[in-house]
Structures are given as C-alpha cells and as structure tokens.
C-alpha cells in the first residue's frame, strides 16, 4: 500500500491501474479475491511462486535489490566491485542513510534511505520515530546498526504491534544512552571512514504517527492468499502494511504482484 503521513496515516492500495483509498473502507465489509495469478514486481513476467515479496526466481537470483546485503547492510560489497548491478548499488547504497529509533512493539533500531522517511516507519507500524544519525553510505549505516542492536532490538514483533498502541517512550533518552554506550565503536567508525561520515542528530524532533484503526483484535489470525483465494470481513483498521479484519490480519506487502480484486459493501 502507498502511504502518506497524516493524522491518521492515509493508505491507498494499487488495484490494477487505480489507487483505492483504503481509509474510507474502514467499518465496511471488504472482500479480496485472489485470481491465482502472480506477476513479478520487477520484470512483470508471470510466475507460479513469489520470492522475497513479489519477485520471480530469475529476478530474485540476479537483481541487486534481492541480494543478502539488503537484509544485512553491514555486508554491502559495492566498494569491493562485486555488486550484482553497480548502477543500482550506486543509486541506492552509495547515498545518505539514516539510523533511527522507532517504537512499534517496543523500541527498535533501524536504517533507511532519506527518501524512505517516513514511509519506512509507517510500514513497520511505528507509533514514534526518531532519526539519530545520518551517514554517507548503506554500509556505514549497517555497521553502526550492528553496534546499536547490541543494546536495543532491531526487530518488530508484528503480533504485539497489531494488538494495540505501544506505550509512549521518550526516544531521545534512549538515543542519548545508546550514544554513550556505543561511543568507542562510533569513534572507530569515524576514524575508518572519516569524521564527516557519521553525523549525530541531537536536535531532530521525534515524530508521532497515528493509524486508522477503529478496533484491535483480541486474537490474531494470519490470513494467506496461498491458502485461501477469498478473504472477506469487516475492515477494522490498517497499521503498518496490515489490513486488520474481524476475521484476521492480512500482510498486504507479502502478496505484492498477486492479481487481486477488491469489492466492498
């Protein structure tokens, strides 16, 4: 789903050539029908199975955006000259990244390109977010994240995230503690990459994010188009990339490339 930071977050679901305004459907009966057809989100070819949230196997195998270093940025190998697609790596990895704290199922550390703020936070269902460092490359952000996640989680518990709003936290206090605990490693990274490579952001304000949710489920049931072609129920809300229905929760991003129609009443 495409997102826009507003109060609450505004969601639009690409359906064919149109964008469906999802916020207007909350409280209504919604039916999503999977038509047993998947097209690769990169090349468009028809595929029997989706890899890495929407890719056919050849694209999953060959594209730089599907490489292991996307999940583990500390292993970025662009400077070694072994990137699968150097032009893609230059455009996506050799640019400014931000290391941030977010509060979705609790405090976590993460990284994102500047162009993905605040989309990245919304996709994770964060209620609060705070950029804490700006660095020059994806590799640097990954190495810094490796150190910070020794002291705070780097994962979101999607079940906990979908059960309600997280307890409010002053992320600036967490930031200051992490900077103090990680000071030797931060200084070492500056010596390795240059003083300007890692920029501390002490004055950046914390971002508060609200989601269009009327009611949170007491029990979570994960819905899956690979197991059922039709999913129908009352849309209770949207958070992260999840539709919250009275019959369960659906991770829309997981089914990127699936041919799905939507009807409502």
Query: Does one domain contain both 158 and 232?
Result: no
Query: Does one domain contain both 107 and 191?
Result: yes
H-only helix segments in the chain: 57-62, 68-71, 86-92, 119-123, 138-148, 158-161, 171-181, 183-193
Question: 10 Å Cβ neighbour count for 181?
Answer: 15
**Among 188, 208, 228, residue at a domain's last position:** 208
Which residues in the chain land under pLDDT 70?
A: none
Residue 198: the pLDDT is 96
Distance CA 50, CA 39 (A): 8
Q: How many domains does the chain have?
A: 2
Residue 219: the pLDDT is 85
Residue range(s) defining the domain that contains residue 171 = 57-208
Distance CA 9, CA 153 (A): 25
Is the backbone of residue 63 left (phi > 0), alpha (psi -120 to 50) or beta? beta
Query: Does one domain contain both 165 and 234?
Result: no
Q: Provide CB contacts within 8 A for 76, sequence distance 6+.
A: 69, 89, 93, 137, 138, 139, 142
| 80-90 tens-digit pLDDT | 999 999 999 99
What's the predicted TM-score (pTM) here? 0.93
């Amino acid at each position: 789903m495409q997102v826009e930071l507003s109060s609450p977050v505004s969601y639009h679901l690409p359906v064919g050539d149109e964008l469906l305004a999802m916020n207007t459907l909350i409280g209504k009966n919604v039916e999503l029908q999977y038509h047993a057809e998947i097209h690769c989100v990169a090349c468009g070819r028809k595929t029997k199975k989706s890899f890495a949230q929407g890719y056919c196997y050849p694209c999953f195998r060959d594209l730089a955006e599907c490489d292991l270093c996307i999940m583990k940025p500390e292993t970025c190998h662009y400077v070694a000259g072994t990137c699968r697609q150097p032009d893609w790596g230059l455009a996506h990895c050799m640019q400014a990244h931000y290391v941030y704290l977010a509060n979705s199922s609790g405090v976590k550390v993460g990284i994102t390109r500047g162009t993905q703020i605040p989309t990245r936070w919304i996709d994770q269902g964060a209620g609060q977010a705070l950029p804490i460092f700006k660095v020059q490359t994806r590799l640097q952000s990954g190495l810094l994240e490796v150190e910070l996640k020794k002291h705070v989680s780097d994962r979101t518990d999607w079940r906990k995230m979908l059960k309600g709003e997280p307890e409010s936290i002053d992320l600036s206090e967490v930031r200051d503690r992490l900077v103090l605990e990680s000071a030797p490693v931060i200084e070492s990274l500056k010596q390795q990459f240059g003083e300007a490579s890692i920029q501390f952001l002490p004055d950046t304000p914390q971002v508060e994010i609200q989601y269009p949710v009327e009611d949170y489920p007491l029990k979570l049931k994960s819905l899956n188009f690979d197991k059922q072609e039709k999913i129908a129920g009352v849309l209770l809300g949207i958070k992260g990339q999840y539709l919250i229905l009275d019959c369960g929760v659906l991770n829309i991003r997981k089914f990127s490339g699936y041919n799905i129609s939507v009807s409502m009443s």
